[in-house]
Structure formats: C-alpha cells, structure tokens
Amino acid sequence: MIIAGTSFTGLVRVPEAGGAPAPLTVLDSSRQETSHGNPSFLPDGRHFVYSRISFGAENNGTYLGSLDAKPEQQDLKRLLGPGSGAVYASSSDPSMGYLLFERERALMAQPFDTRRLELAGDAAPVGGDLNTGGSPSYSASTTGVLAYRTGSATEASTRLIWFDRQGKQLGQVGAPALYGDVSFADGKRLVVTQADPRTRITHTWTADLPRGVFSRLNPGETLDTSGALSPDGRIAFTFAPAGAAGDIYVRLASGVGQAELLHKSPTVKHPNHWSLDGRFLIYDDHHPTQRTDLWIIPMAAPGPDRKPIPFLVTPADETFGQFSPDGKWVAYDSDETGRREVYVQGFAPDRVPAAAVGKWTISSAGGSRPRWRRDGKEIFYIALDRKMMAVPLKTTATTFEPGVAVPLFDTNGMGFQPYDVAADGRFLINTVTEAATPNALPITVVLNWMTGLKK
C-alpha cells in the first residue's frame, strides 16, 4: 500500500499495483487544517505517523494514523508538536524504534514503542544544522545508517527578476527575500507574498515599482496570502484569523482602512485573479473530498448580492483561473486527463456553471500557470520542463482560435503564482538562485547512528 499527501487535502492510499486513490484522512475545518502529509509507515504495515498542518499552531504536528480507520475517525492525539514531519526509524528491538524529527534546526530521535504505539522516552539530538522547512530532509535505514541534509536552503532567498522574451535578465525588483506569489494589474504596483524568515508565516506585501518601496498589507502574525489586485487598487487575499480555514478578505492596496470579509466558508480559498474591468473575482476552493474547483464572485453587485457562482465544479482539480483582458474567456489549468494542462473556457456571467460554454485545450504536453498578454493576443504558461511557453491567439467577439505553442526561455520560478507579465511584454519571475536549491546542500551520513544514543 502506498500513502501520499496532496496539497490542501488529506492523505490518500493506493495499492502498489495501481488503482484509484482513496481518501485515508480528511481535513478538519474546525481545527483550521490545510493539509496532511509526510507519512511514514510503522513496522506493522498498518499504522503510520504523519503531519497535520493547520493555521492554528496548537494543531500542527505529528499524529498517528491507521489503514483500518475511516478518514474522519483517525486519532487526533498529537505525538509531537510543530516542525518537520517525523520519520520512523527501526532498531534491533522489534518492539522499540525511534521517531526522527526536527527541533530548532537540530535532528532529534525519540524512542517509540511500536506495540503500545506511543512515545517511550526523552528525545536526544543526533545531528545539527538541519535543513528545515517543507518535507523531512532526513532518513534512516534498517541497517543503522542515518542520512540528513544540512544547510539553509529555505533561508536562501529568491529574487524578483525581469526577463525579456529571449530570457535575458533586465533587472531586479527589491532585495532578495523569501518571496512566493507575484501579480500586478498595472506597471506601477506589485503584489507579492513573502515568508517571514523568523516564523515562516507568509504575508502579503505591495511594492511601488517605480520607487522600489515594499509595504506590508496587514499587520500582525496571522497568515495572509494569494493577493489579487483590482484595477482600482483593492487587494483580495486569503486570511485565516482564529477559527477560520482560510477566507477571502479585501483591503485597499494603500493599507488605508480595515480589511473587510468578502467570502467565508468552511474550506480554504485563494483569490486567483481580478478581471481588468473590476467586475469579477475568480478564486479556487479546496474542498476536502471533491478536490479544487473554481468559483467567481460578482464584485460589481451590491454587498449582499456578492454570492459566489460556480465556474468549474468537477471531479478534476482546477486552479489558477485567469480572466482574459476583455473578460470573455478564462484560462486555467486542470488535471482532468491525469496530467496538468492549460485550458480556456468561455465566460458569460449569465451562463454558469461554464460547462455550457466553449472550451479549448491550450497546452499539448503538460502545462500550468497561464497568464494572458495584456492585449489578449497570446497566452503564456509554464511547461513541465519549466520552459516559458507562448501560444498565439486569434479571437473575435464570438470565436477563439489558439495557435501552436512556442518555447521562449527556461525558468526556475517558485510559488503558486511565480510570475506575471507586464503590459510591455516583460516577465517578472520569482526566481530561485542556485544557492537556494536544496540539491546544492551537503548530506551527512552517519553509520551505526543509534550507538551514540546509548552513551
């Protein structure tokens, strides 16, 4: 049996011979959970440890799961607190092993009773200067060999770099930092997410491009992310105050006034794009069982009438919705074929859901993260090999005709929305430098690593 974690859902299980993935755990919105991951089997082959990630720090940590439990009935007793997910390591005693986990950049080992399925002693350090963040960067074999990666890849910065169509670097915006998503509605104001190097919590920032000055949109330590900028200077973003899974708020980009709640529900939601006429906001909704769908909020309607309308609600995973400059089409990516591809679907506000409107496949060999050229004559997207692709378009009031995709240049972006395209055709890409690549960091290997615990 194979267990896997996926973004914004619980764990799934699938036999090694293949088959349809089945839910193994389910997100608990009452605990502000956003994902489950990093599973590691215990020796009995039925139980496993895994991470539950939540906006509420008190719910973050390592938990015990079972193949024999129903998704909604998994044990919620926390074994370990926040940090990189625990990995089980066996010992010569079949009834006693260890959980390896990260604590303040130290690699720790804590005895674990495999019969009682509980911790059985104090944790002790077995390595230091651990590469932190994301998936565990350590593993132990049944023969007593321990390997872990050291260094500071997650602390290494990304850079906001301008590129032309040939991939030539034209300049940089701001200083290096832990950037994520990138978007702008004009050539003057940039919206970018940035992780706090101390807490790793993501926050939304705005940048005055002519002056190169950055400002935090919201104060405090609560996560806010996925900013979408309107033509009149408002930002829609995901915010997760206590008790919320991740709702959509709106605030003036200038920071004046208070953030206002736009849409609240039990699921995690991320604004994707604001139409250039300001009338519609498209967002993705991460449902715990039916995967990710695209919904649209009519922003021109009076407050009480701004009820979301379904755009694409299917068994597939659809995200990254982008309105065309004229507002008649929506580009997005989906895994409906089993591989993520870019599509365009017609958009008519009085015809939702959009299944009744025309649909075109844009990418042919895998692709994601579409963006429109500002005159609507091209769609850009990132191919599976990280090449920036351009697809020419011929459109009229009623027809849509995509051309053949053309590779432009290689990219090395990071983030859900790693780039945007300016009106003058330049690409601003949140670029990973070589020093920030985890594969560039050293791996430490320790033989007979448990011997040191007995001293």
Q: What is the pTM of this model?
A: 0.79
- Please report the pLDDT score of residue 455 as a whole number: 56
Please state, in angstroms and rounded to a whole number, the distance separating the CA atoms of residues 383 and 407. 9
Q: Is the pLDDT of residue 155 over 60?
A: no
Of 26-35, 176-185, 385-394, the least confident? 26-35
**Phi and psi torsions of 355, nearest 5°:** -60, -20
Mean pLDDT value across residues 288-307: 84
Closest CA to 311 of 332, 328, 293: 293
Please state, in angstroms and rounded to a whole number, the distance separating the CA atoms of residues 317 and 158. 28
Q: Is the pLDDT of residue 54 over 90?
A: no
Of 73-87, 120-134, 199-213, the least confident? 120-134
Mean pLDDT value across residues 122-151: 84
Please name the amino acid found at residue 65. Answer: G
Q: Tokens for 197, please give them.
A: 């190097």
CATH numeric code, 2-153+439-454: 2.120.10.30
Of 146-150, 286-290, 307-311, 316-320, the least confident? 286-290
Under a CB-based contact definition with an 8 Å cutoff, are residues 201 and 208 in contact? no
Please state, in angstroms and rounded to a whole number, the distance separating the CA atoms of residues 229 and 242. 25
Q: Regarding beta strands 268-274 and 213-216, do their DSSP bridges make them parallel or antiparallel, or are they unpaired? A: unpaired
- Kindly list the distances between the CA atom of residue 149 and the CA atoms of 57, 102, 444, in Å, as whole numbers in the listed order: 25, 12, 6
Q: Is the pLDDT of residue 132 over 70?
A: no
Please state, in angstroms and rounded to a whole number, the distance separating the CA atoms of residues 315 and 308. 19
Closest CA to 396 of 380, 377, 381, 383: 377
Cβ-based neighbours of 143, under 8 Å, separated by 6 or more: none
Mean pLDDT value across residues 126-149: 83
Of 130-134, 164-168, 249-253, 360-364, the least confident? 130-134
Residue 321's Cβ-count burial label (10 Å; 0-12, 13-18, 19+) is buried
Of 223-237, 283-297, 414-428, the least confident? 283-297
CATH class of this structure's domain 158-432: mainly beta
Mean pLDDT value across residues 168-193: 90
Under a CB-based contact definition with an 8 Å cutoff, are residues 366 and 341 in contact? yes
Closest CA to 84 of 62, 56, 58: 62
**Confidence label for 82 from pLDDT (cuts 50, 70 and 90):** confident
Under a CB-based contact definition with an 8 Å cutoff, are residues 134 and 439 in contact? no
More confidently predicted of 134 and 318: 318
Q: Is the pLDDT of residue 56 over 80?
A: no
Mean per-residue pLDDT of the chain:
88
- Please report the pLDDT score of residue 129 as a whole number: 81
Q: Is the pLDDT of residue 354 over 60?
A: no
- Please report the pLDDT score of residue 193 as a whole number: 94
Q: Is the pLDDT of residue 453 over 90?
A: no
Q: Where in the chain is the domain with CATH 2.120.10.30?
A: 2-153+439-454, 158-432
Please state, in angstroms and rounded to a whole number, the distance separating the CA atoms of residues 181 and 185. 14
- What letter would DSSP give residue 191? E
- Please report the pLDDT score of residue 154 as a whole number: 47
Within 10 A of 52 (CB to CB), how many other CB atoms are there?
26
- For the chain, helix (H) and strand (E) counts, in that order, are 0, 40
More confidently predicted of 113 and 185: 113
Mean pLDDT value across residues 149-166: 80
What b-and-e string marks burial along 375-407, b requiring 16 or more CB atoms within 10 Å of the CB? ebebbbbbbeeebbbbbebebeeeebebeebee
**Confidence label for 156 from pLDDT (cuts 50, 70 and 90):** low
- Please report the pLDDT score of residue 13 as a whole number: 93
Q: Is the pLDDT of residue 150 over 80?
A: yes
Sheet order of strands, 158-163 included: 169-177, 158-163, 427-432, 419-421
Mean pLDDT value across residues 429-445: 76
Under a CB-based contact definition with an 8 Å cutoff, are residues 413 and 383 in contact? no
**Confidence label for 216 from pLDDT (cuts 50, 70 and 90):** very high
Q: Is the pLDDT of residue 266 over 80?
A: yes
- Please report the pLDDT score of residue 27 as a whole number: 85
Mean pLDDT value across residues 132-139: 75
Q: Is the pLDDT of residue 245 over 80?
A: no
- Kindly list the distances between the CA atom of residue 81 and the CA atoms of 53, 54, 121, 150, 407, in Å, as whole numbers in the listed order: 11, 12, 16, 21, 45
Q: Is the pLDDT of residue 325 over 80?
A: yes
**Confidence label for 441 from pLDDT (cuts 50, 70 and 90):** confident
Under a CB-based contact definition with an 8 Å cutoff, are residues 11 and 25 in contact? yes
Please state, in angstroms and rounded to a whole number, the distance separating the CA atoms of residues 321 and 120. 49
